Amino acid sequence: MSDPTFWLLARASGLTAYTLLTLVVLAGLVVKAKPLAAVRPAAAVDVHRFLTTLAIGAVALHAATLVLDSRVHIGPRALLVPGAAPYRPLATGAGVVAMELMLLVAISFPLRRRIGVRAWRRLHWTTYGIFALATAHGLFAGTDAARPWALDLYLGAVGAVASVAAWRALVPPRLHHGRST
């Protein structure tokens, strides 16, 4: 029997990465919408960036442990080329694209002034696509996705992101601070 350590780490780090990505998206929505007067914009940005760093670290651990696991045959090429993994190529490819786009958006933080605020904001719109791709990856490639607790995690994450995004889109900005006109 082979050692299950890397397999367990791959599963745990994948679910952790997804949870952190959800928090990144929610924190990004809070940065822009400022729902609570007590949340200073600079503090919200710091939390958003910190969560992004943690999420990227969890994704890197997820990828590394899949390559190191002897039960699955995921090579380094499959981490870079969408669809190159032998296991559920479409679903794993969605995860690869999500990871690559996540890195692109993260790299854009320090380049904001160079690429311009308008282009930077447009690039940040891809975060919704990243979240959708990561959700599809987890649901269709994750071996725990059929378990009730995992399905609840995915449904809760999608519900939270959809609710906060809808609130941000529908509530006038002057009401985001709890003040009316």
Give this prediction's pTM: 0.90
CA dist 7 → 39, 73, 86, 136 (Å) = 39, 11, 16, 20
pLDDT tens, residue by residue, 47-56: 999 999 999 9
Report the alpha-carbon distance of residue 177 to residue 181 in Å, rounded: 11
Q: Does residue 180 lie in a domain region? A: no
Residue 144 contacts by C-beta under 8 Å, 6 or more apart in sequence? Answer: 11, 15, 150
Q: For residue 1, is pLDDT > 60?
A: no
Burial grade of 45 (CB within 10 A; 0-12, 13-18, 19 or more):
middle
Q: Does residue 24 lie in a domain region? A: yes
Q: Does residue 181 lie in a domain region? A: no
pLDDT tens, residue by residue, 63-104: 999 999 888 888 999 999 999 999 999 999 999 999 999 999
User: What domain range is 133 assigned to?
Assistant: 5-175
Q: Does residue 38 lie in a domain region? A: yes
Structure tokens at 165: 């995004």
Tell me how many domains the chain contains: 1
Q: Does residue 73 lie in a domain region? A: yes
